[in-house]
């Protein structure tokens, strides 16, 4: 079964409770991954291995920071500006 749906180029401006739950989970996963890679890199003795672990940790830290940007919205004003039929 194939659908011809066009992907949404940008996330919706308001964050739902379910969206927030997903973002919180993803933040937890990214932070844990960053901490683990950081710990492993600190304890690595091979410089190439240490560099690879640092790079992986930086990637997860970057993902964490990008997810945080999705939480920097004024949900109340966005929801107040929506027509009443969309808020229900």
Does the predicted model carry a pTM greater than 0.85? no
Digitized pLDDT (tens) for each residue of the chain, 88 residues in all: 566 777 767 766 777 888 889 989 999 999 999 999 999 999 999 999 999 999 999 999 999 999 888 777 777 777 677 776 554 4
Residues in contact with 70: Cβ distance below 8 Å, sequence separation at least 6, in sequence order? 11, 15, 23
Which residues have CB under 8 Å from 62's CB, separation 6+? none
Task: Output the CA torsion 17→19→24→27 (10° steps).
Answer: -160
pLDDT the model gives residue 61: 96
């Amino acid at each position: 079964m194939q659908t011809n749906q066009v992907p949404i180029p940008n996330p919706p401006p308001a964050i739902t409770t379910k969206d927030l739950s997903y973002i919180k989970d993803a933040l937890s996963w990214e932070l844990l991954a960053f901490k683990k890679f950081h710990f492993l890199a600190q304890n690595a003795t091979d410089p190439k291995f240490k560099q690879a672990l640092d790079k992986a940790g930086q990637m997860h830290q970057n993902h964490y920071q990008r997810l945080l940007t999705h939480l920097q919205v004024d949900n109340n004003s966005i929801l107040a500006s929506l027509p009443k039929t969309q808020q229900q």
